[in-house]
Amino acid sequence: MDFLKIFLRGLAFLPAALHGTEALIGEGGGEQKKKAAIEIVGAAINITDAVTSKQIVDADRFTAGLGAIIDGVVECLNASVWAKS
């Protein structure tokens, strides 16, 4: 399957991954939750296989970018009606 399709499908898991890590870790633990979400989404898009097949040439930059996406999704969720009052 085309890597872009796999990547976008993995990003579709992001809200559920963030909700799941919030439920597991609870309040606080921002970096711990972010790391867990990166691992979950990374597994969903199978970063290891993408790196070995050379679809991702810089795994560190890719992971940093994924972290930035997660930060953005968290900001959107926190600003939405889903945020706790």
**Cβ atoms of 59 and 47 closer than 8 Å:** yes
**What CA–CA distance (Å, rounded) separates 58 from 55?**
9
**What CA–CA distance (Å, rounded) separates 69 from 44?**
15
Q: Which amino acid is at 23?
A: A
- Write out pLDDT tens, residues 4-59: 787 787 778 778 777 777 777 766 667 887 788 888 777 777 777 777 778 888 88
Mean pLDDT in residue range 52-81: 84
**What CA–CA distance (Å, rounded) separates 41 from 65?**
12
What is the pLDDT at residue 82? 66
**What CA–CA distance (Å, rounded) separates 68 from 75?**
11
pTM for the model: 0.68
